Chain A
Amino acid sequence: MMLRRLSALFLGCALLLAPVLVLAVDDPSEMLPNPQEEARAEAIGSQLRCLVCQNESIEDSSAGLARDLRRVVREHVAKGESNRQIMDWMVNRYGNFIRLSPPLSIGTLLLWSMPALALLLGLTTAFFAYRRRNAAPAAPPPLTAEEKARLADLTKD
């Protein structure tokens, strides 16, 4: 009886604490009151690299700098700036490195198209090699008058 009461008490405490534990992961006071704006800020933040723990987005990271950058993003969103403007603001300070998905440039285009280019190069090489191997051997040049005379001379009994 005692044990059951204790376990009920424990369960009650755990249930009461559960939301607190969840919220402790991220401070809800950071969030924008407008859910639409908050969603936009989260979408932008998930595209921005945390410069401290470099493979996490600022939305995922709990580093101090990530928190500061989240706040900056939300301030700009609340001011009504476009996603592009906010992204440019960040790139202006931290370079393209802050973008988790790099922009299209000559360098990245070359990088991304490299498998296709390599395949194309390989196929072209294979095609020419195959054609050369299977090509009928070129007809020998016709005999010159001199050779004809010599052949006639040799075959003559």
Chain B
Amino acid sequence: MSNPPENMTRRRLLMAAPLAGAAIVGVGFWKMLSGMQHGSFNPHDINAPVLNRPVPDFSVPDQAPGQGFSAQDLRALTQPVLVNFFASWCIPCLAEMPTLMGLKDDLTMWGIAYKDRPENAAGFLKHSGNPFTRLGSDRDGRVGIDWGISGVPETFLIGPGGIIRWHSAAPLDVDTIRGTLVPLLESLKKS
């Protein structure tokens, strides 16, 4: 009361505090939602811990002769490879296959048949087309657990040196490939 100008600035500051708070929250939400839209942020992604780590120790036996692979094969890579867990009993995998077939000329893909009989997996690939250059079989699902998958299809992008660069627990679609996968591959190529 004794000095009104000081009182006024204090009052203004107090008025601005909630506005500033709301602005910060707004920017946070906007970043989160735009991340969700572009696929860079996924709150449902439950196995983020494998990201930017080397592939786990594993070995999948041949689904067809000479096609099985192991962690050593992935760690020896100099080019990125897409590893896809699929199963003949999985409807989303069937729906995903045309997308993978469209991608196979541009990106090497290795497949792991998850909890599937070899003859069923072979029949599935015969029917839908085979985008995979190597094919392993995870009959009891133990390799899947080491990779942290919770279902099929799940896809991992393995960068040079066998580092897991990206993961998707949903079937791949054209939007994800254009919006996330292609920019990621370009940045991997640069570095």
Contact = CB atoms under 8 A, between A and B. Distances in A.
20 contacts: A51-B46, A51-B150, A52-B151, A65-B145, A68-B140, A68-B141, A68-B142, A68-B145, A72-B142, A91-B49, A93-B47, A93-B50, A93-B56, A93-B147, A94-B47, A94-B49, A95-B46, A95-B49, A95-B148, A97-B46
A72 B150 contact: no
A52 B150 contact: yes
A72 B145 contact: yes
Contacts of A95: 46-49, 148
A94 B145 CA distance: 9
B119 interface: no
Interface string A50-75: 01100000000000110011001000
B150 A93 contact: no
Contacts of B48: 95
Interface residues of A, number: 14
Given A52-B151, A93-B146, A95-B47, 10 more contacts: A51-B151, A52-B150, A65-B145, A65-B150, A68-B140, A93-B50, A93-B145, A94-B46, A95-B46, A97-B46
A72 B140 CA distance: 12
Contacts of A94: 46-47, 49, 148, 150
A64 B115 contact: yes
Interface string A87-108: 0000111110110000000000
A99 to B, nearest CB: 12
Contacts of A93: 47, 49-50, 56, 145-148
Contacts of B140: 68
A64 B141 contact: yes
Contacts, number: 40
A73 B105 CA distance: 41
Most buried by A among B47, B141, B145: B145
Contacts of B142: 68, 72
B85 to A, nearest CB: 12
B97 to A, nearest CB: 22
A52 to B, nearest CB: 6
A124 to B, nearest CB: 15
Nearest to B147: A93
Nearest to B56: A93
Contacts of A92: 49
Nearest to B53: A92
Nearest to B115: A64
Contacts of A65: 141, 145, 150-151
